[in-house]
Amino acid sequence: MSGIEKSPWLIHYDASSCNGCDIEVLACLTPMYDAERFGCIVTGDPKQADIFLITGSVNHLNIPVVKNLYEQMPEPKAVVAIGACAYTGGVFSECYNISGGVANVIPVDVYVPGCAAKPESILDGVVRAAQILAEKRKSLKVSQREKRKAMKKAKRVKGGAKAAGGQS
Amino acid sequence: MKGYELYIAIAYLVLAPFIGGLLAGFDRRISARLQGRMGPPLLQPFYDLRKLFTRSLAPVNRLQVPLVVSHLVFAVLTGFLIFWGGDILLIIFVLTLAGIFLVLAAYSTGSPYSAIGADRELIMMTAYEPMVILTLVGFFKVAGSFNFWDIAMIGKPTILLLPGLFIGFEYVLLMKLRKSPFDLSTSHHAHQELVMGLHADLGGPSLGLVELAHWYESVYLYGLVFLFFSWNPIAAVLGVVGSYLIVILIDNTTARVKWELALSSAWVVALVAGVGNLIPFYLLTGVTH
């Protein structure tokens, strides 16, 4: 256990949301809901974040920003798409400038329903994402171990081939 | 304590992360209660640190990690020298060097956020340094020595002789611990006017090292607070715990100030409370020692 689920640090980005969901995200930090109970810290730095909270339908101008933030986060990472807009584009889905949901730009792990999403369900989504992070971390470790093994094997085979080449 | 300094210094090396982490944990918990929240578990800083060290190290350049490691080494060395009974004047230089390494690490990233944070950290260093030096001069005047244990064993109520220096030291303690209203250079709290600042672009393990250094720092800073109360064990506990709680209270009830006010007020406090305490003290006791 790496304990990543005990300290999920968040980064919050508003990708052309109407701000309704963002107000609810901020409400999660208030004494009423207190996201810090779960060890959450909202950082502003993607390099220090584990979970990406994203609201809104993502328009064409902020696609590079969303991708940039996502790519700067270290592995393992989880994305929580908050609200109807982040799911399908919501009431804006027919607009000419809308990509129609976060999943069209970056992979999403948890969808939080609602318009606007309730703070309770956002917290629920964050806790679920923290569990997914723990699972991802486990599989990442396994895949790294396998990679290392495969590399060692490849080296051995290569070395063997060289030795054989030297003899002939 | 004479003769045991080395053991205490080694105990500091081993125990300070645990004490510092617990100080941070109680801090977050008490802050949450002051705000009417439940707050994180007491051991949350340790969970955070463990997680930070499992994250992948993604340094933005080759210089950043060595600078952060040097920051930790010199922060630890400062505390080690203090508790080993080293010359406090030497310790001031090591303390400054530790701060400078962190500032250099922030400058090396090239991020505008860390650059602003680094600028502000330098300003904070110029703000707190005069008061720290005045405090040590006061200790020397009382104890006739720059050695931590000589000052601790003086057997006089230092706080009653140097009340102004204590107020001034509490004031700059807020700066050194980066507490509000002097958390200009960096802050963990979300939605500040400058996001992260000094700690921006420090990913995973390097942020963990900076946190660890901060825990070591907070332990020796409260060790210096202890010197004001060292004549009596009960006074020592009350004094150190009291100043810890006062720092948390001020942190939670004040808004961040601009750097001009931080700098000028720190110097005014150093001049009024610090020099205002030292001059009468010298006049009454003479300049000898």
pLDDT digits (tens, 9 = 90+) for B42-54: 999 999 999 999 8
CA distance B195 to chain A (A): 6
The per-residue pLDDT for B226 is 93
Exposed/middle/buried for B3, CB within 10 Å: 0-12, 13-18, 19+?
Answer: exposed
Closest CA to B32 of A5, A30, A127: A30
Taking only the tens place, the pLDDT of each residue in A101-136 is 899 999 999 999 999 899 999 999 999 999 999 998
Tell if the CB–CB gap between A74 and B204 is shorter than 8 Å: yes
Cβ contact, residue pair B40, A75, below 8 Å: no
Cross-strand bridge partners of residue B79: none
Range of lowest pLDDT (A64-78, B48-62, B100-114, B180-194): B180-194
pLDDT range class, residue A161, cuts 50, 70, 90: low
Radius of gyration of chain A (CA): 21
Q: Give B167-227 as a DSSP string.
A: HHHHHHHHHHTT-TTS--S--SSSS-SSSSGGGTT--THHHHHHHHHHHHHHHHHHHHHHH
Choice between B190 and B104, residue whose per-residue pLDDT is larger: B104
Task: Please report the DSSP string for chain B in residue order.
Answer: -TT-HHHHHHHHHHHHHHHHHHHHHHHHHHHHHHTT-----TTHHHHHHHHHHHS----SSTTHHHHHHHHHHHHHHHHHHHHHT-BHHHHHHHHHHHHHHHHHHHHHH--HHHHHHHHHHHHHHHHHHHHHHHHHHHHHHHHS--BHHHHHTS-S-HHHH-HHHHHHHHHHHHHHTT-TTS--S--SSSS-SSSSGGGTT--THHHHHHHHHHHHHHHHHHHHHHHTTTTSHHHHHHHHHHHHHHHHHHHHH-PPPPHHHHHHHHHHHIIIIIIHHHHHHHHHH-S--
- Residues A78 and B17: their CA atoms lie apart, in Å, by 30
Question: A34: closest CA among A122, A106, A109?
Answer: A122
Which of the four pLDDT bands, split at 50, 70 and 90, describes residue A166?
very low
Percent of chain B with pLDDT over 70: 97
Task: Report domain extents, chain A.
Answer: 4-140
CA angle B44, B64, B12 (to 5 degrees): 50
Q: Would the pLDDT of A157 be above 80?
A: no
In the prediction, which pLDDT does B1 show?
59
Give the residue numbers spanning the domain of B104: 5-285
pLDDT of residue A168: 41
Measured from the Cβ of residue B90, the count of other Cβ atoms closer than 10 Å reads 12
Residue B204 Ramachandran class (φ > 0 left, ψ -120 to 50 alpha, else beta): left
Predicted confidence at residue B47, as pLDDT, reads 93
What's the mean pLDDT in B15-21? 94
**Quick one: tokens of B219?**
């332990």
Pick one of 3.10.20.30, 3.40.50.12280, 3.40.50.1370, 3.40.920.10 as the CATH number of A4-140. Answer: 3.40.50.12280
pLDDT (tens digit, 9 = 90+) per residue, A14-37?
998 899 999 999 999 888 999 889
Q: Highest mean pLDDT range out of A159-163, B96-100, B154-158? A: B96-100
pLDDT at B2 over 80: no
Q: Which of B37, B50, B196 sits opposite A43 (nearest CB)?
A: B196
Across the range B252-280, mean pLDDT stands at 92
Mean pLDDT of A85-95: 90
Look at residue B37 and tell me whether its pLDDT is greater than 50. Answer: yes
Residues of chain B contacting A39 with CB distance shorter than 8 Å: 40-41, 44, 47-48
Average pLDDT over residues A52-72: 93
Residue B178 in contact with residue B256, Cβ under 8 Å?
no
Per-residue pLDDT tens for B222-248? 999 999 999 889 999 999 999 999 999
DSSP per-residue letters across A2-47? --GGGS-EEEEEESS--SHHHHHHHHTTSTTT-GGGGT-EE-S-GG
pLDDT band at B69 (very low <50, low <70, confident <90, very high): very high
- Provide the pLDDT for residue A154: 83
Percent of the residues in chain B that have a pLDDT greater than 90, as a whole number: 60
- pLDDT band of A2, cuts 50, 70, 90: low
The pLDDT of residue B223: 92
- What's the confidence (pLDDT) of residue A162? 59
| pLDDT number for residue A165 | 53
pLDDT given for residue B190 in this prediction: 61
pLDDT of residue A164: 56
Verify whether the Cβ–Cβ distance B51 to A74 is below 8 Å: no
Comparing A93 with B72, the larger pLDDT belongs to B72
Q: How many domains does chain B have?
A: 1
pLDDT over 80 (residue B286)? no
**Closest to A36 (Cβ–Cβ): which among B39, B47, B113?**
B39
How high is the pLDDT of residue B228? 93
| Tokens 């611990």 belong to residue | B177
- Beta-strand ranges (E) seen in chain A are 9-14, 41-42, 51-55, 78-82, 110-112
Calculate the average pLDDT of chain B: 90
Question: Which residue in chain B has the smallest CA separation from A141?
Answer: B54
CB-based contact, A27 to chain B, within 8 Å = no
Q: What is the pTM of this model?
A: 0.90
